[in-house]
Amino acid sequence: MLKPYKALSLLLLTALIQTSCSTSRSSANTNQAVTATQGAEKPKPTSKNGIKNYADVITKEAVSDKGVFTVHKVADKYYYEIPDSLLQRDFLWITRFASLPSGLGNGYINAGSSVNEQMVVWQKFENKLLLKTKSYNSIAADSLPINLSVLANNYQPTIYAFDIAALSNDSSAYVIDVTKFFLSDIKTFSGLSADMRRNYKVTKLDDSRSFINSVKSFPLNIEVKQDFTYDATEPPSNATTGSISLLMNQSMVLLPKVPMQARINDYRVGYFNIRQIDYGSEALKADEKSYIRRWRLEPKDVEAYKRGELVEPIKPIVYYLDPATPDKLRPYIKAGVEQWQKAFETAGFKNAIIAKDPPSPEEDPDFSPEDVRYSVIRYVASTTRNAVGPSVSDPRSGEIIESDIIWYHNHLRSYRNRYLLETGAANPGARTLNTPMDDLGEMMLEVITHEVGHALGLPHNMKASSAYPTDSLRSGNFTQEYGIAATIMDYARYNYVAQPGDKNIRFIRQLGPYDHYAINWGYRYLPDAKSPEDEVPVLSAWIKEKTGNPIYQFGSGSGGYDPDSQTEGIGNDVVKASNYGLKNLKLVAPKLYGWTAAQTNDYDDLDELYGELLGVWSRYIGHVVTNIGGVHENRLKPDQKGYIYTPVTAKEEAASLDWLLKNAFSSPEWLHQSEISRNIHHANHVESVRNLQVRHLDNLLSSARMARLMENEVNKVNYNALDMVKQLQRGIWSEIYSGAQIDIYRRNLQKAYLDRMDYLLNKEESKPTRYNSTTVEISQSDIRSILRGELANLQKQLRAAQRNYSGDLSRYHIDDVLVRIDNILNPNKN
């Protein structure tokens, strides 16, 4: 059956032949016809099924931009001219925030943050073009009969249906009007989630204040910016306007016609990954498959590569610097990118990753950071303190197509502050607000290396910071060679373990041995493997070679139960490391005024740094809390010896709680520096300490932690939830056994202890809770039995202790808490 436009062409051709024959037979008749029509209005071309002539739609006034699709702007309308050859081709559609209001998403969203990624295809149906989603989550080989069922049971929705406005002059492309589409509040492309719409009470998109900012077409992608304003009763900022304005970026990227050969993910090595459900599996169920995300690197000379020679890739990974990047920072950023070259050499490639200055208009007039062919390190003028390394990957194979590293201008300030607080005791170069440029440059270099690592496919590996013995971090020779953690992908930013007098110490993180191992595992080219499954024996053998070596272990840090896999920690002994860190912090605190306000004659920096000092103290405490009810995770497969999960020993748990009672829950007199507290706030010190201590007390007395401690009973670990509560309660209320006065810090903490008891006994819902990957049914567990029994014991001890206190604050405090305990134990008494 002929397509409509081809049938129309054939009809016109037939008419032309008939007219030609008629003319040759009778020129007289023709002359009469011409004479009769002179001066009359020529008939206008009529549309067929709504399809107009190309020139009537794309007029002479059109401004056209050629790329993967040609984009036309005619007056206030935008048109896509879509080649017939690109129908049914796979595109990746990425929705991002280009600009957003302060506080959106509680501040956890930045400009450049991705909202949604989905694969789409363009399809023709009658006189319409359909934009449809396409999923690779469920697959089966085309040759298998079950593929018919996969397609039938995973029918993908149509996002939008466009009328075909015109055909190109050669009928090889379709013209559609996309104006209404990009001016509509389409949920799948929106920056406002359902939760945001509910929380901010968004009513509608205001058409009068919404418009298309720009549409740009490049050889492999189209970028659209939408300026949208919504009516909102409770916006996150600028509340008096009753509005939320967003600048959204819609990217549509053409994916390779032939996907790259995927590499099967292994949870023992850290890689971002894509997941698919394969219904063509021979297993008795659908087989879930996971493939790592990585760039396509193939050697120019395969034979030389096989011989073990370093070979350049056919297409290296290239990052361009943003033209807005300050000149003094460019060398550090380039070095941060190219530091990965050594790791790629481990994988057999030389010059695999390169950093370049942006080309001048004369060198490349078409260069644009928005062109998907260019990966760019963007330098953003923003007060946000962050850097991110997102990437765009092919959902069919995991191939990384493009990546933009985002560096926010104020980010180095955070690193300056942490450098001063965490290393200032042992590192004279850190004792200033004017950190030397070489040190700042080194920090920036390593941050860029970390973010590029994400863009290469590597997630955080929080376990790597526990690979080194804690005391080795006090060795100059060790830290200069191995750094302070086994990978740059951990949050191990500074060496806070090193003590005053330690020599030649490296204080700033660096690339480590795990990085070489992970890049080799993910990127080494295996020329003899014809399928992802063919690679598995080799890849598994590389992992088994490293079994038992902590340097090559991976742990995401999620779950909150593994003391070896924590953010911001270093060393293999969290108690020892936190002890060293706290000793340093106690040396820094009294010096902070002299290093800041005394030099600047201003209190702003002192105020900021003191607040961050409390945060550093809190991190050291949190690391030790994780030891209690902690479980070491060692990612293994059945052909490796050992257990995946091993509880922390009873001795370590008891020692950790003892450390907390001395260093977290005692009265922190060292924190009260009069020069600081009496110059930065009128009355906030006690409340700041209370808030921090209560946070860790509540964490210690979480239902999830207690559930893991109760599990110790079946794991034959001689320290359970009752042991922990007994030890904690005696430590929190130690004054009533000694008769000592109870100071303000301790009175606050003791009341907080009772509040937590009240919550767990009477207020937390009695249903299975899942917190930090531990599930517990509170009402049917021992949690309430333990707490009720120990609280009753405390009540007796407090009554006995009353006689030791007269009419002072300590006595009033004890009288008050006795009433509180009675109300907790008898909530329905009144």
Residue 558 binned pLDDT confidence (cut-offs 50, 70, 90): confident
Q: What is the mean pLDDT of residues 225-237?
A: 93
86 in Cβ contact with 69 (< 8 Å): yes
Residue 10 binned pLDDT confidence (cut-offs 50, 70, 90): very low
Give me the torsion for CA of 676, 678, 679, 684, rounded to 10°.
90
Domain check: are 178 and 309 in the same one? no
561 in Cβ contact with 773 (< 8 Å): yes
Q: Is residue 9 part of a domain?
A: no
155 or 139: which carries more pLDDT confidence? 155
Question: Is 60 exceeded by the pLDDT of residue 395?
Answer: yes
613's tokens: 């000092």
By C-alpha distance, which of 256, 221, 250, 215 is closest to 371? 221
Q: Is residue 826 part of a domain?
A: yes
769 or 38: which carries more pLDDT confidence? 769
Which residues, other chains included, contact 571 with Cβ-Cβ below 8 Å and sequence gap of 6+?
A: 465, 466, 468, 469, 470, 473, 497, 577
Query: In this predicted model, what pLDDT tens digit does every residue of 161-174 receive, in sequence order?
Result: 999 999 999 999 99
Give me the torsion for CA of 174, 179, 183, 188, rounded to 10°.
10
For helices 604-625 and 574-588, give the axis angle rounded to 10 degrees: 160
56 in Cβ contact with 166 (< 8 Å): yes
- In whole angstroms, how far apart are CA 171 and each of 81, 89, 167, 175, 680? 11, 19, 5, 10, 73
525 in Cβ contact with 297 (< 8 Å): yes
485's tokens: 């953690």
Domain check: are 231 and 313 in the same one? no
Q: Is residue 486 part of a domain?
A: no
765's tokens: 């819902």
pLDDT at 154: 54
Burial class (CB in 10 A: 0-12, 13-18, 19+), 643: exposed
β-pairing verdict for 114-125 and 211-217 = unpaired
Which residue range is the domain that position 198 belongs to? 54-254
pLDDT at 244: 94
Cα–Cα distance for residue pair 561/625, rounded to 1 Å: 10
Domain check: are 685 and 816 in the same one? yes
Domain check: are 91 and 152 in the same one? yes
Burial class (CB in 10 A: 0-12, 13-18, 19+), 65: middle
Q: Is residue 40 part of a domain?
A: no
Query: In this predicted model, what pLDDT tens digit does every residue of 472-531 receive, in sequence order?
Result: 999 999 999 999 999 999 999 999 999 999 999 999 999 999 999 999 999 999 999 999
Cα–Cα distance for residue pair 525/301, rounded to 1 Å: 12
The residue assigned the tokens 């924590």 is 566
Q: What is the mean pLDDT of residues 816-821?
A: 97
Query: In this predicted model, what pLDDT tens digit does every residue of 438-487 receive, in sequence order?
Result: 999 999 999 999 999 999 999 999 999 999 999 999 999 999 999 999 99
> How many structural domains comprise the chain?
3
Residue 275 pairs with which residues in a beta bridge?
290
Rg (CA), the chain: 33
Domain check: are 240 and 349 in the same one? no
Question: Is 80 exceeded by the pLDDT of residue 818?
Answer: yes
pLDDT at 384: 67
SS3 499: coil
Cα–Cα distance for residue pair 213/410, rounded to 1 Å: 28
Query: In this predicted model, what pLDDT tens digit does every residue of 376-387 receive, in sequence order?
Result: 888 776 666 677
- Residue where one domain finishes, among candidates 360, 379, 411: 411
Amino acid at 180: K
Query: In this predicted model, what pLDDT tens digit does every residue of 403-421 receive, in sequence order?
Result: 888 877 678 888 999 999 9
By C-alpha distance, which of 440, 437, 578, 592 is closest to 507? 440
Domain check: are 784 and 653 in the same one? yes
Exposed e or buried b per residue across 386-398, where buried means at least 16 C-beta atoms within 10 angstroms of its C-beta = bbbbbbbbbbbbb
Q: Is residue 83 part of a domain?
A: yes
- Residue where one domain finishes, among candidates 363, 380, 411: 411
Residue 379 pairs with which residues in a beta bridge?
407
Cα–Cα distance for residue pair 149/141, rounded to 1 Å: 12
Q: Is residue 186 part of a domain?
A: yes
By C-alpha distance, which of 186, 183, 167 is closest to 175? 167
Cα–Cα distance for residue pair 293/271, rounded to 1 Å: 7
Exposed e or buried b per residue across 559-569, where buried means at least 16 C-beta atoms within 10 angstroms of its C-beta = ebbbbbbbebb
Question: Is 70 exceeded by the pLDDT of residue 322?
Answer: yes
Domain check: are 61 and 169 in the same one? yes
465 in Cβ contact with 570 (< 8 Å): yes
Helices of type H across 712-808: 721-732, 735-738, 744-758, 783-801
Instruction: Could you list the beta-strand ranges (E) of 631-771.
Output: 631-633, 645-647, 768-771
Helices of type H across 339-436: 341-346, 411-423
pLDDT at 587: 97
* CA angle at 721 for the pair 717 and 724, rounded to the nearest 5°: 95
Cα–Cα distance for residue pair 664/578, rounded to 1 Å: 11
pLDDT at 556: 87
Question: Is 90 exceeded by the pLDDT of residue 48?
Answer: no
Q: Is residue 750 part of a domain?
A: yes
Residue 118 pairs with which residues in a beta bridge?
93
Domain check: are 95 and 153 in the same one? yes
**DSSP at 70:** E
DSSP run (H or E) holding 798: helix 783-801
279 in Cβ contact with 141 (< 8 Å): no
444 in Cβ contact with 329 (< 8 Å): yes
Question: Is 80 exceeded by the pLDDT of residue 572?
Answer: yes
pLDDT at 674: 86
Question: Is 80 exceeded by the pLDDT of residue 31?
Answer: no
Cα–Cα distance for residue pair 554/463, rounded to 1 Å: 6
As a whole number of Å, the end-to-end CA separation of the chain is 85
- In whole angstroms, how far apart are CA 85 and each of 166, 167, 296, 401? 17, 14, 25, 21
Domain check: are 249 and 365 in the same one? no
Domain check: are 250 and 306 in the same one? no
- Residue where one domain finishes, among candidates 393, 411, 429: 411
Cα–Cα distance for residue pair 644/553, rounded to 1 Å: 12
Q: Is residue 451 part of a domain?
A: no
* CA angle at 167 for the pair 161 and 172, rounded to the nearest 5°: 105
486 in Cβ contact with 468 (< 8 Å): yes
Domain check: are 186 and 332 in the same one? no
Give me the torsion for CA of 483, 489, 491, 492, rounded to 10°.
0
Question: Is 80 exceeded by the pLDDT of residue 7?
Answer: no
Amino acid at 805: Y
Which residues, other chains included, contact 211 with Cβ-Cβ below 8 Å and sequence gap of 6+?
A: 183, 226, 227
CB atoms within 10 A of CB 683: 7
**pTM to 2 decimals?**
0.86
Residue 155 binned pLDDT confidence (cut-offs 50, 70, 90): low
DSSP run (H or E) holding 223: strand 221-232
Which residues, other chains included, contact 695 with Cβ-Cβ below 8 Å and sequence gap of 6+?
A: 618
Domain check: are 326 and 205 in the same one? no
